[in-house]
Amino acid sequence: MNITENKSEGLVKSFKVVVAADEFKAAYDKKLAETATKVKLPGFRPGNTPIGIVEQKYGQAVKGDAAEALIQDASSKIVMENKLRLAVAPKVDVAKFEDGQDFEFSIEFEVLPEIGSVDLSKVSVEKPTAQVSDEEVEKALKRLADARKSTEVINEDRLTKEGDVVVIDFVGTINGEEFRGGSGKDFYLALGSNTFIPGFEPQLVSKKIGETVNVNVTFPAEYHVKDLAGKEAVFATTLKELRQYKEAEVNDEFAKTFGQETLDGLKNVIKEELAKEYANVSNVHLKRAILDALAPVCSFDAPQSMVDMEFDAIWKQFENAKARGQLDEDEKNASEEDLKAEYKAIAVRRVKLGLLLAEIANQNKITLDAADIQKAISAEAARNPGYEKQVFEFYQKNPKAMEALRAPLFEEKVVDFVSKNIQITEKVMTPEELYAFDPDKK
């Protein structure tokens, strides 16, 4: 087997391989003998079929197997001798494959770039943070109280107005026929809450209790029930009772409904939960800042095959979102050419950052262990209360799901390592600023 380097351009390296005719014949004979021990043909015991009959029946398949084995041998030898780190599986191009002739082919390898050592101590980022103020705690407490407020009957003979709560029965029809999901009894509706279809609630204002009103509305064109979208409907609505909201009293008794003995105890819990929430948002921004700071370190080339695969995945997501009508305004208004250019740039960035994080992990011996996996599955189970056992069984029985869990988990572990070895400056802002923070905007 004669191997010569054909060309080398960037991360792509190509080698020409020539297998002499007699060497190919030896590989063919070996494969033929192996096949003869396995086949079972009528009239012969297994392993005793004459080699000529085996060749007559399986010769072409054996020839292909021999070629494949030689290609694999050549590929392994090239990788070992040249210490290649492959980005993807090599490409093989057969130039000559004829009986009694030399077997000639070329193998093209796309290799991973050389990244070198990464000095994290020189990387600096800004981390947006927010403190939990007493005012924020009071706002959260009010939201809890609003969620727990009740209603009481208004014993007053007057017309309904916006802000009232009316108890109604209603029957909806389209072209005189009732439709599924269009009826209800003893429904509490806050006038002005925009709970119902646009135009419904205003028609119940300035009405008397006991009155039946024919409410005429048109379902929105984007209504979630396609059979109703854009259609005109009439709801025969009877106003049965007039009520008003009664604010919940925020005191120790109120705190007990949340499992706390005192109001101060409830406030402390709220403060702790808000602090966790702000920290989560802050960490999301920190990860983005870290990746942005690492991007300039990615001065190496990205393997084109990896970029193409990443772009294909992104574009498939885009086309799926387009089919579901879920594109944002920027995507709707951009040309396909501009979008492809933007997404290709994103694909390059993702591939480069992925390779850089992998190299950082390699240099610092960062790996995932069983405890990391178990912790991630436990966290997933905690997000599905009542189904914890099913979550664990799902991952145990689905290797692909487990592998899908490993990739982001590994990235998080590497980014966490990076965060402990770079310079971080905190930037304190209000909670509103933290949630609205966009590093791309000046």
Residue 209 DSSP one-character state: T
Least confident range from 176-185, 270-279, 323-332: namely: 323-332
Q: What is the share, in percent, of the chain residues with pLDDT greater than 70? A: 99
Of 181-195, 287-301, 397-411, least confident by mean pLDDT is: 397-411
DSSP E strands: which ranges in 208-364? 212-218, 232-246
Give 441's pLDDT tier (boundaries 50, 70, 90). Answer: low
| Of 191-195, 203-207, 322-326, the least confident | 322-326
pLDDT digits (tens, 9 = 90+) for 3-14: 998 878 889 999
**Residue 367: how many other CB atoms lie within 10 Å:** 10
pLDDT of residue 140: 94
Residue range 130-178, pLDDT digits in tens = 999 999 999 999 999 988 888 999 999 999 999 999 999 999 999 999 9
Structure-token pair, residue 404: 């899908």
Backbone angles phi and psi of 8, in degrees to 5: -140, 115
| 190 C-beta neighbours (distance < 10 Å), count | 17
* C-alpha to C-alpha distances, 38 to 27, 155, 270, nearest whole angstrom: 17, 94, 72
Query: What pLDDT does residue 117 have?
Result: 86
d(CA 274, CA 280): 10
Tell me the per-residue pLDDT of 67-99, one tens digit each, with 9 for 90 and over. Answer: 999 999 999 999 999 999 999 999 999 999 988
The answer on pLDDT for 442 being more than 60 is no
Give pLDDT tens digits for 372-387.
Answer: 888 888 988 888 888 8
- The tens digit of pLDDT for each residue in 281-311 reads 999 999 999 999 999 888 899 999 999 999 9
User: Is 200 in contact with 231 (CB distance < 8 Å)?
Assistant: no
